[in-house]
Every structure is written in C-alpha cells, then in structure tokens.
Amino acid sequence: MKPAELHYWILGCFSMALCCRYTSDSFTLSDIHPHHWNKLYFAHHWPVTVCKMNANDCHDPPMYWTIHGLWPDRAEDCNRTWHFNVSEIKDLILDMRHYWPDVLHSSQNRTQFWKHEWDKHGTCAATLEVFNSQKKYFGKALELYQHVDLNGHLLKAGIKPSSSYYKMTAIKESLREFYGVTPKIQCLPPEEGEKAQTIGQIEICFTKELQLVNCTEREGESNPIQAHFKFGTSELSVCNDSLPTYYPSELQDRK
C-alpha cells in the first residue's frame, strides 16, 4: 500500500471508530435521563380500595396500609441500564412481601411490582448515597414505613375501617397534627348514585435529607408526580374536602 493510500486508510478507520463510538455513547446516554428532583413522595395505599379499583387477581387483601412506592418528584425512569435484581434484596424479601406486596397480583410473580418501582423511581432516588443501591432503596423505604407508622397513628386517632363515613378534613387534620406536615390524600370519586368518596392512598413527603415536609406545592409550582393514579378503569385523584369519605373494611362493604 502506498504512503498516500495508507494515510487515507488510517483516516477512514479513525473516522469510522469515532462514528461507532459516538453511536454507542448516544445509545447509552439516551437510556440515562436527568435526575433533577426536590423531594420524595412516600405513598401508602389501602389494599381494599386497590382491589375495588381492579379485582384482577385480588384475594384477601391485607387489612393494613401497605407501601405503594417511594417516588422522587420530577424524575422517572432515570437509568434504563440499571436492571432490577431480586437477589440484591434477598435479605429483605420477608418484609417486602408483608409491607410492600403486589396487592393486585398476589398469585403471580410478586417481584414484577418491585421491578417496576425500581425501574421507574428507584433509579432516580439512587442519585442520593442513602439510596444508591437496590438494597439501600428498598431497605430505607421499609425503615421509613416503620418510622411513619401510618397504621398505628390512624388507629390511635380512632380512624379505622368502617361502614360509616368520615370527614376528609378531620382525617387531614389528624395527620397534620401527628406529622407536623400536610400529606397528600387520594380517593376514588363517588360511584354513580353515591355521595361518598373512598380513601385509597396517603402520601407522606420527605426532603432529600429525609426530613418531613409538606406534600403541597407552592403557588405556581406543579407536581410532576401524576395527579391521578389509575388501576384498570378506576382512577384515584386528590380527595374532595367537602365529600364524606368511606374507609372500607371489606370488598363488599360499599353498596
């Protein structure tokens, strides 16, 4: 090969290498999204209400508030290359099954629910050292669950599943007095011909330092965590303070 030909051949290979590297890096970067978020929404849901929303595979839902998820605001699906591996949380499995069950799919592979939560929210929370592994993320959520003790507080306040109705303002005030911050509470709206909404989800918020903080947004801000939460054809939304609120104890309670 002549020197001139060799020169152009080397240039061509170098250009191809740059092109391939750029393509590869672009693919990787496209799977990693910005991690800008301000606070965490720690969501508990009421299994009986979840089953009312979609009785796909609901059998004997737990009669205590369970974890729905720990969600950074303003960030979702931050690293699609960081795949969920259940073996990393093997020491937590018993607690996960009890406090963080897949209410809707109790007889199927329960790890799919945890995989979804890790993929969508855990990979974003992992920008903080306290959450920077799957074991840390799920383990810290379990710690927060015990610390918040939503089940215990509601019982102490006399708020328990019943066929009677509660005032939403009374539930909110009780939670505010106990935690010192304003939670976010979501309900199923009244069905046709009914007057009461059904409580379904309570979110307690934390700063990045894991200090309690109001879930309400300042004026002019928007909460990127979905305002509505949907199971099947039913949808949770922020509760209406003026409507009576139903806290169901059994699937067939609501007529």
Catalytic residue positions?
Answer: 68, 117, 121
Cα distances (angstroms) measured from residue 128 to each of 63, 75, 209: 33, 13, 9
Helix or strand run (H / E) with residue 66: strand 66-72
One-letter amino acid at 126 equals A
Q: Strands 165-167 and 229-231, how do they pair?
A: unpaired
| Structural element, H or E, at residue 164 | none
Written as six digits, the tokens of 55 are: 């009785």
What's the token pair of residue 53? 């929303």
As a whole number of angstroms, the distance between CA 200 and CA 217 comes to: 21
Rounded Cα distance between 149 and 153, Å, is 6
Tokens coding 186: 């979501």
Q: Report which DSSP code applies to 78.
A: -
Q: Residues 6 or more apart from 172 whose CB is under 8 A from it? A: 182, 183, 185, 241
Place of tokens 């004026």: 219
Q: In which element (H, E) is residue 200 found?
A: strand 197-207
- Among 192, 183, 199, 188, smallest CA distance to 246 is for 199
